[in-house]
Amino acid sequence: MAIKEKVVIITGASSGIGEETAYLLAKKGAKLVLGARREEKLRTVQQTILNQGGEAVFQVMDVTKPQDNTSLVELAKKVYGKVDVMFLNAGLMPNSRLSELKMTEWNQMIDVNLKGVLNGIEAILPEFIKQKSGQIITTSSVAGLKAYPGGAVYGATKWAIRDLMEVLRMESAEEGTNIRTSTIYPAAINTELLSTISSEKVLNDFQQMYAQYGISPDSIARIVAFAIDQPDDVNVTEFTVGPTTQPW
């Protein structure tokens, strides 16, 4: 299998999609390098993997800080000697209507959802260019494909990721660096995202929707595994994933 022995960095690895992806890839023989802000949760994820016979290290980091991203890449190289995949998964979704003028939350989403991905790309791209191989996977959202009230800024960050990743794929093909890219657009996945919503009305609407339609984050973990498991000369650019019953 293409996953076995690959070194995979995961940001936002302490819960939700990142956590489930770490567990699944470890079972398939990948070597994990986990990054997030919450040390205790990271330690729990790592210990679970080790207890099951897998390999994982972690580092507390904030994707909004360029040096933290660079340090995570350096940790991977120090422990495992290389990096094969970087899964840029950290994200926030404090949705609100524009009329609420939640500028602080707007900036947080831009910093984490967009700049955080850029920081990760900046950290890993020199390595992938040098070795002429590598894979970058990002977690976008169906909000990066369609607009909806209450999701203007969140959606804007996720639309931006779509363009960013496609251009990265195109430029890599032109430059002969063989970097594979995949962008995942999840719909209602039961993670901690809703906990960041401070707008009472928007939160209520989303809680009702997720209670009706939400599915487990391990469904996205399987998509990540599928993308990694493709042959090196095959790139699957985009995955739109969600509950069968959700009309999106």
Q: Which sequence positions are flagged as catalytic? A: 154
Which residues, 6 or more positions from 223, have their beta carbon under 8 angstroms from its beta carbon?
A: 184, 239, 241
User: Using an 8 Å Cβ cutoff, are 179 and 172 in contact?
Assistant: yes
Buried-exposed string 43-77: b where 16+ CB fall within 10 A, e elsewhere: eebbeebeeeebbbbbbbbbbbeeebbbbbbebbe
Q: Which residues contact 226 (CB under 8 A, 6 or more apart)?
A: 236
Spell out the residues 6+ positions from residue 197 whose beta carbon is closer than 8 angstroms to its own: 93, 94, 95, 96, 203, 206
CA 238 to chain centre: 13
- Half-sphere exposure of residue 133: CA atoms within 13 angstroms, side-chain side: 11
Upper half-sphere CA count for residue 120 (Cβ side, 13 Å) = 34
